[in-house]
Amino acid sequence: MASIIKVEHLSYVYNPGMPGAVTALDDVSFEVEEGDFVGIIGATGSGKSTLIAHMNGLNRPTSGRIIIDGRDVWADPGKIRDFRFLTGLVFQYPEYQLFEETCYKDIAFGPRNMGLDEPEIDRRVREAARFVGLDEKLLDRSPFELSGGQKRRVAVAGVMAMEPRILVLDEPAAGLDPEGRDSILSAIREYHKKTGVTVLLVSHSMEDIARYADRVLVMAQRKVAMYDTVENVFARAEELLALGLSVPQVTKIFLKLRQMGIDVPADVYTIPYAVKKLVEAKARHDAGESLELPRPGSAAQKGGAAE
Ligand SMILES: Nc1ncnc2c1ncn2[C@@H]1O[C@H](COP(=O)(O)OP(=O)(O)O)[C@@H](O)[C@H]1O
Ligand SMILES: [Mg+2]
């Protein structure tokens, strides 16, 4: 399948040429296939928000290129508006941008801006509200009467209603309680499954990324440190920890077991998979097999799991 996003040698400097110049991205390259669900993770200040603001032309590369759906975003700056509709960007704490008198009007704002007719706007508002699990009854209410989690859903629905080809969300679960987190993240997963829209989700939670994404982009110090499937990234748990990133609790336990010399896989990041692997290990043990990890450099190590 063709890549819907191509980032080529992207660098970005805030306040270039000034005393306060900050290089936020340094030679970043990667591609995203249409329909992928990519989790973006990295320490605070690693450049995640700066990166995603390039996806719809909010940031203009200092050098390098962003190609969306085969078109260089900045080839014709007069056409930048096209990309605002192609890529839907949900900012951090998007509920602060709600301003209309009803939720309905807030969700309708984007589609209306696109010049769609009323029946089409109405269809999109209701469909988006369903995607985020917002009760129809709330549509006529003021967003300011809603809970934090409900406001967040209204804001996300407003971007979904534009029916972008790419949905980009910056920490959509930040600041919500565990129930609110689960509900918004599950809504995004369902939306991805049903629409096939490409999703980029920035999160600082490895557990969330493990649960929702297919691929992971790890940002560290303004660069891409890793970009691979969830399994392959979690198999590098030690490197992730060295980058100051957390890994799921269950991954840490398996890492510890391996450090103790026990032959269990390194790419464990869900509980059911962990249980399966432990049951298998026990069966091997019961059958009298050794559970010791082969020593580094020994023949058995060759062609091993990680790469
Ligand atoms: N508007 C800005 N002006 C100057 N520097 C900025 C601005 N926004 C972000 N930065 C800097 O750019 C770097 C990357 O920031 P950011 O993209 O926000 O990272 P993240 O989203 O991963 O926390 C940081 O060093 C940050 O301080
Ligand atoms: Mg950020």
Residue 307, pLDDT score: 40
Res. 67 pLDDT band, cuts 50 70 90: very high
Residue 129, pLDDT score: 97
Q: 6 CA distance to ligand 2 centroid (A)?
A: 21
In-domain check, residue 259 = yes
| Pair (135, 34) in one structural domain | yes
Distant-in-sequence, close-in-space partners of 163: CB < 8 Å, separation ≥ 6: 124
Query: Could you list the residue range(s) of the whole structural domain that residue 33 is in?
Result: 3-235
Q: 27 CA distance to ligand 1 centroid (A)?
A: 16
Q: What is the mean pLDDT of the segment spanning 112-133?
A: 97
| Pair (228, 115) in one structural domain | yes
From atom 7 of ligand 1, which residue's Cα is the shortest distance away? Answer: 14
| pTM across the whole model | 0.89
Q: Is the CB of 23 under 6 A from ligand 1?
A: no
Retrieve residue 41's tokens.
């993770």
Q: Is the CB of 202 under 6 A from ligand 1?
A: no
Give me the number of domains the chain comprises: 2
Rounded Cα gap, residues 216 and 221, in angstroms: 16
| Pair (140, 255) in one structural domain | no
Q: CATH number for the domain including 101?
A: 3.40.50.300
pLDDT tens digits for range 235-260: 898 899 898 888 888 888 999 999 99
Res. 296 pLDDT band, cuts 50 70 90: low
Q: 48 CA distance to ligand 1 centroid (A)?
A: 8
User: Which of 15, 25, 49, 58 is the pocket-test mutation for ligand 1 (most atoms within 8 Å of CB)?
Assistant: 49
Locate the ligand 1 atom nearest the alpha carbon of residue 219 and give its number: 22
The sign of the torsion formed by the CA atoms of 237, 238, 239, 241 equals: positive
In-domain check, residue 242 = no
Task: Give the percent of the chain with pLDDT over 70.
Answer: 96
